């Protein structure tokens, strides 16, 4: 074969790859291949300057983004691919981990120098992952072929979106923004509503595994996971809407805590600073009956550390489990706050018989700031709300696995009484909507009470 024929064959192959990202996926990268919605994403990036993908959990959006990045980089000489995500952990350990994996397993050797968050082919031909804490770093990237990828785009600051818009002037500039739709506001929401963006919505119900009721793609969400979330959260819950259906949550104007605050609290790295025992607090919401649970929740300063849930009608046995929980985490008994209403009264009495000086909290009692709050319940929950604000001095962090806590907090509503005081809706009303009592949320709220003189309880 002559050199001219080899060059012509290479040019034909390059042209075919440029025209068809699915051809590149199959015959260059090889391996696992995209399902229908992933194909839509790849073809949309080829055909549209801007593509936005609101999606549910576990549908393969990061896999598709990595495959798009490699297609663009290796199909267009001297192209630039710039990726980002809300946190450096997401940049390095999610999108770029997948990009490196696909590069390494490629059917045909791709070449280039592969680093942790960079693939370099030449000085003017590379892919790069950036963090979002310095908007100015997104300036100055100029190429006729430029691809921007925003992973978990709903959490990326507006300033980054504005700087990125200035990079879209190239002859073949492309922008892919992909995320769970966690809040009905902000740049990601605006992009979904903007006709200049091609919107591809992906519900977990669209996933091949869910539609077939069996495992077709091992890494994708399963029908069992969807059924479990439907049972745990309910189809009307904000968490089900965003994590399963890929829809922006329908939020009430009276919602206590926006779901994006809660999901952001999960993404924050928990402080590794060891706190003194006095900063450890346990909230205990005691179960009444049926589907209700007794919940032990440990909070250390701004970090919710551990949650235990118990379904056991035997009060004395549950008392024993609480003793083990308190001893395990070395929490002073005076920092144990228990709901005393109903069955909780017997629970508290038994602990005090054993000289364990827990704090009995009656959520219906007068608030410490009785001019602002209708009762202690409202005051404690407002403290939870303040601690979860993204601009709090040290925002709260939540464990990775606390879906029920998040669902409950995102469902609770607040109102203002005729006397101008803040009140949180009754537990019974919340239970009607959720199908279960907000035991986890109440346990967290209890940790924001504090002991006062002569057994009274104020708010921390």
Backbone angles phi, psi at 91, to 5 degrees: -65, -50
Q: What's the pLDDT score for residue 1? A: 46
Residue 247 domain-assigned?
A: no
The answer to the question of residue 244 being in a domain is no
CATH code, domain carrying 96: 3.40.50.300
Q: Which of 176, 193, 212 is the last residue of a domain?
A: 212
pLDDT of 389 reads 93
pLDDT at 454: 42
Q: Does residue 220 lie in a domain region?
A: no
The pLDDT assigned to 275 comes to 67
Is residue 85 situated within a structural domain? yes
Residue numbers of the domain that contains 397: 259-459
Question: Is 400 among the domain residues?
Answer: yes
Last residue of a domain, one of 182, 212, 242: 212
Residue at which a domain ends, from 212, 247, 267: 212
Measured CA to CA, the distance from residue 452 to residue 460 in angstroms comes to 10
Q: Is the distance from CB of 262 to CB of 410 less than 8 angstroms?
A: yes
Please indicate, yes or no, whether residues 193 and 69 belong to a single structural domain of this protein.
Answer: yes
Number of domains making up the chain: 2
Say what the pLDDT of residue 87 is.
Answer: 85
Cβ-Cβ contacts under 8 Å for 370 (sequence gap 6 or more): 421
- Residue 109 falls within a domain, yes or no? yes
Residues 202 and 351 in one domain: no
Question: Same domain, yes or no, for 196 and 271?
Answer: no
As averages over each run of 10 residues, the pLDDT of the chain (460 residues) reads 55 90 95 95 97 96 96 96 91 94 95 95 95 76 91 91 87 94 90 96 96 94 93 85 91 84 86 69 81 88 92 80 90 88 76 82 89 94 94 90 90 89 89 84 92 49
CATH number, position 317: 3.30.420.240
Residue 55's pLDDT is what? 96
22 within domain boundaries: yes
């Amino acid at each position: 074969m002559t050199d001219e024929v080899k060059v012509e064959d290479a040019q034909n192959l390059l042209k075919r790859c440029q025209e068809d990202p699915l051809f590149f996926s199959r015959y260059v990268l090889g391996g696992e291949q995209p399902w229908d919605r992933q194909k839509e994403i790849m073809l949309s990036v080829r055909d549209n300057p801007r593509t936005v993908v609101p999606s549910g959990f576990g549908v393969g959006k990061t896999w598709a983004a990595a495959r798009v990045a490699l297609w663009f980089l290796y199909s267009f000489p001297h192209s630039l691919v710039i990726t980002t995500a809300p946190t450096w952990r997401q940049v390095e350990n999610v999108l770029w981990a997948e990009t490196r994996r696909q590069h390494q397993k490629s059917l045909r050797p791709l070449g280039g120098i592969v680093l942790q968050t960079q693939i370099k082919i030449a000085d003017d031909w590379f892919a790069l992952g950036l963090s979002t804490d310095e908007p100015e770093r997104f300036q100055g990237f100029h190429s006729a072929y430029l691809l921007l990828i925003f992973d978990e785009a709903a959490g990326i600051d507006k300033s980054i979106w504005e700087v990125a818009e200035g990079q879209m002037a190239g002859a073949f500039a492309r922008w892919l923004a992909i995320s769970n739709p966690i809040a009905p506001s902000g740049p990601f929401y605006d992009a979904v509503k903007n006709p200049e963006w091609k919107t591809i919505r992906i519900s977990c119900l669209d996933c091949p595994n869910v539609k077939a009721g069996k495992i077709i793609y091992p890494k994708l969400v399963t029908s069992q996971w969807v059924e479990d979330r439907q049972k745990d959260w309910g189809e009307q819950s904000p968490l089900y809407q965003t994590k399963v259906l890929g829809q922006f949550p329908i939020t009430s104007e009276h919602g206590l805590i926006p779901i994006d605050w809660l999901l952001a609290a999960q993404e924050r790295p928990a402080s590794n600073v060891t706190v003194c025992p006095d900063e450890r607090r346990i909230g205990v919401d005691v179960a009444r009956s049926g589907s209700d649970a007794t919940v032990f929740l440990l909070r250390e300063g701004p970090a919710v550390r551990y949650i235990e849930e118990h379904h056991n009608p035997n009060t004395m046995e549950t008392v024993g489990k609480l003793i083990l929980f308190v001893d395990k985490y070395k929490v002073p008994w005076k920092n144990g706050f228990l709901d005393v209403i109903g069955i909780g009264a017997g629970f508290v009495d038994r602990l005090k018989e054993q000289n364990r000086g827990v704090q009995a909290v009656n959520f219906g009692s007068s608030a410490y700031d009785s001019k602002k709050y209708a009762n202690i319940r409202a005051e404690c929950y407002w403290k939870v709300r303040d601690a979860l604000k993204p601009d709090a001095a040290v925002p709260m962090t939540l464990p990775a696995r606390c879906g029920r806590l998040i669902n409950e907090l995102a469902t609770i509503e607040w109102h203002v009484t005729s006397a101008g005081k803040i009140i949180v809706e009754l537990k019974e009303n919340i239970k009607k909507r959720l199908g279960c009592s907000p035991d986890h949320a109440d346990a967290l709220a209890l940790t924001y009470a504090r002991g006062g003189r002569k057994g009274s309880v104020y708010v921390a």
